């Protein structure tokens, strides 16, 4: 088999309808046989080994600016830190800490915990089964962004709608007509954020970002837009993916019920390792590049397939299993190198708050009905629905020792 040959015929290509639902057999083959692979079907290079992906994400020979712009962004829209490299990127990322850094997180943590209790109360009121994505994940993602942005409750619905519509921009392989709709939605989202930023509370993270002189207004809006597009749907879907893995495992739920926030965050890392909501990210080589598993010439489109790297048996024992207390866990679900997810702490913290509350408040929660199905979408990796029968509500248990915030 040559290095540019396709996958063996019995394996579904990861971008084919069957491969989108279960890409892991193809990823396993590629990682084992050709971790730096030129895919004859798409013309893209698929990098699937952990060492290769980790090296790629740090190597300036792989341009995020060129890689992310490849998907025909509308140049009227503000630049974002994900579409810049080097010094331009650092200049945009530094003020981004005002929105997503430790002080911002500390200022919204109690509010997010209260919102989480409220969304679980609403789910109980509506009765079971609840859809973990639509009724737990999406409201959590909206609440997190709304807290960061200081957005009043009557605007939450609009934010969620615009976020959902603009999320197609995550998929570098979206067909042109879908990408066009995504760009239009992005324009609308940017106008919404612009109007809101003019009235935001100066003390909320968005207010502090908006007042920072290091960014022009379009650059500031670029940071906000990226937080919505890069954050809302991946976080919403991660909740469904996590409960899909967690609920059928009573021993893990029992352990998490008495675990503190740190242990719950460790579990969130492991759940993200197993089902990376952003399974790959795009780059373009600006010069010839050398990775541990092979060489890629200049001018090539490359995908760092972090979902494959996250199951590399050279790094993770039992890579296809949920080892909830896995430590260390050098997964790449948040990327790596200079573009490492700026909200990783926020995601772990808010995910752990929600999952901790679900396992404590609803000790009998189960997936209701037939097995959930994976959607044939590429990014984010998501289930079409995750119906959950919550069972008895042990509301007092939500505040157990160690389960702060
Ligand atoms: C489970 C949820 C999330 C996952 C799996 C995730 C994953 C990622 C990944 C893989 C990257 C790197 C992309 C690349 O290198 O091309 C990234 C970047 C980023 N993420 Fe997240 N993310 C999540 C949620 C969020 C949220 C909620 C926000 C904001 C509120 C956010 C903000 C960002 C930003 C601003 C960047 C760009 C950083 C840079 O370019 O320097 N993410 N994220």
For residue 236, tell me if it sits in a domain. yes
For residue 5, tell me if it sits in a domain. no
pLDDT range class, residue 176, cuts 50, 70, 90: confident
**CB under 8 Å to 9, separation ≥6 — which residues?**
none
Q: How many domains does the chain have?
A: 1
Mean pLDDT of 113-123: 97
Which atom of ligand 1 is nearest the CA belonging to 82? 40
| Cα 198 to middle of ligand 1, angstroms | 25
For residue 393, tell me if it sits in a domain. yes
For residue 300, tell me if it sits in a domain. yes
If one residue of 104, 189, 230, 344 were mutated to test the ligand 1 pocket, choosing by the most ligand atoms within 8 A of its CB, it would be 230
Percent over 70 (pLDDT), the chain: 95
Q: Using a 6 Å cutoff on CB, does residue 140 contact ligand 1? A: no
Looking at 20-29, 166-175, 205-214, 233-242, which range is the least confident one?
Answer: 166-175
Higher pLDDT, 69 or 401: 69
User: Residue 355 pLDDT > 50, yes or no?
Assistant: yes
Tens digit of each residue's pLDDT (9 = 90 or more) over 271-320:
999 999 999 999 999 999 999 999 999 999 999 999 999 999 999 999 99
| Cα 388 to middle of ligand 1, angstroms | 27
| Cα 344 to middle of ligand 1, angstroms | 7
**CB under 8 Å to 224, separation ≥6 — which residues?**
99, 149, 193, 197, 206, 209
- Look at residue 269 and give its three-state secondary structure: helix
For residue 230, tell me if it sits in a domain. yes
- CA angle (223 as vertex; 50, 54 as ends), nearest 5: 10
pLDDT range class, residue 399, cuts 50, 70, 90: low
For residue 11, tell me if it sits in a domain. no
For residue 9, tell me if it sits in a domain. no
- CA angle (102 as vertex; 190, 355 as ends), nearest 5: 85
**CB under 8 Å to 232, separation ≥6 — which residues?**
141, 142, 145, 159, 160, 163, 164, 167
Q: Using a 6 Å cutoff on CB, does residue 81 contact ligand 1? A: yes
Q: Using a 6 Å cutoff on CB, does residue 119 contact ligand 1? A: no
For residue 305, tell me if it sits in a domain. yes
User: Residue 3 pLDDT > 50, yes or no?
Assistant: no
Mean pLDDT of 59-88: 80
Q: What is the pLDDT of residue 171?
A: 82
User: Residue 125 pLDDT > 50, yes or no?
Assistant: yes
Tens digit of each residue's pLDDT (9 = 90 or more) over 131-168:
999 999 999 999 999 999 999 999 999 999 999 999 98
| Cα 48 to middle of ligand 1, angstroms | 20
pTM for the predicted model, two decimal places: 0.96
Q: What is the pLDDT of residue 77?
A: 67
| Cα 29 to middle of ligand 1, angstroms | 27
Q: Using a 6 Å cutoff on CB, does residue 342 contact ligand 1? A: yes
Where in the sequence is the domain holding 368, given as residue range(s)? 29-399
Q: Using a 6 Å cutoff on CB, does residue 231 contact ligand 1? A: yes
pLDDT range class, residue 68, cuts 50, 70, 90: confident
Mean pLDDT of 359-376: 94
pLDDT range class, residue 207, cuts 50, 70, 90: very high
CATH code, domain with 158:
1.10.630.10
């Amino acid at each position: 088999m040559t290095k540019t040959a396709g996958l063996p015929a019995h394996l579904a290509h990861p971008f084919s309808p069957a491969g989108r639902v279960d890409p892991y057999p193809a990823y396993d083959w590629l990682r084992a046989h050709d971790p730096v692979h030129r895919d004859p079907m798409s013309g893209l290079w698929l990098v699937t080994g952990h060492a290769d992906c980790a090296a790629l994400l740090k190597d300036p020979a792989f341009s995020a600016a060129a890689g992310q712009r490849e998907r025909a962004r509308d140049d009227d829209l503000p630049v974002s830190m994900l579409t810049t490299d080097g010094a331009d990127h650092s200049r945009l990322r530094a003020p981004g800490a005002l929105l997503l850094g430790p002080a911002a997180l500390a200022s919204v943590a109690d509010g997010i915990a209260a919102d989480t209790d409220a969304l679980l109360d609403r789910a109980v009121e509506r009765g079971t089964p609840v859809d973990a994505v639509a009724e737990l994940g999406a409201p959590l993602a909206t609440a997190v962004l709304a807290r960061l942005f200081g957005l009043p409750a009557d605007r939450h619905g609009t934010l969620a709608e615009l976020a959902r519509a603009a999320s197609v921009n995550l998929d570098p392989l979206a067909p042109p007509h879908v990408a066009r709709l995504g760009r239009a939605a992005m324009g609308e989202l940017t106008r919404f954020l612009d109007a809101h930023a003019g009235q935001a509370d100066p003390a909320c993270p968005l207010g502090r970002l908006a007042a920072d002189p290091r960014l022009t207004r379009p650059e500031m809006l670029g940071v906000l837009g990226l937080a919505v597009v890069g954050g809302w749907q991946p976080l919403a879907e991660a909740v469904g993916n996590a409960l899909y893995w967690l609920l059928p495992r009573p021993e893990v739920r029992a352990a998490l019920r008495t675990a503190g926030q740190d242990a719950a965050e460790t579990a969130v890392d492991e759940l993200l390792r197993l089902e990376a909501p952003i399974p790959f990210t795009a780059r373009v080589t600006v010069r010839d590049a050398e990775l541990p598993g092979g060489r890629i010439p200049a001018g090539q489109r490359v995908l760092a397939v972090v979902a494959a790297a996250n199951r590399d048996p050279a790094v993770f024992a039992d890579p296809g299993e949920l080892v909830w207390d896995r430590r260390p866990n050098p997964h790449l679900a948040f990327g790596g190198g200079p573009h490492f997810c700026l909200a990783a702490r926020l995601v772990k913290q808010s995910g752990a708050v929600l999952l901790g509350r679900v396992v404590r408040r609803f000790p009998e929660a189960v997936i209701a009905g037939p097995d959930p199905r994976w959607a044939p979408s590429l990014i984010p990796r998501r289930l079409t629905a995750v119906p959950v029968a919550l069972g008895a509500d042990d509301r007092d248990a939500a505040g157990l020792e160690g389960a702060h915030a």
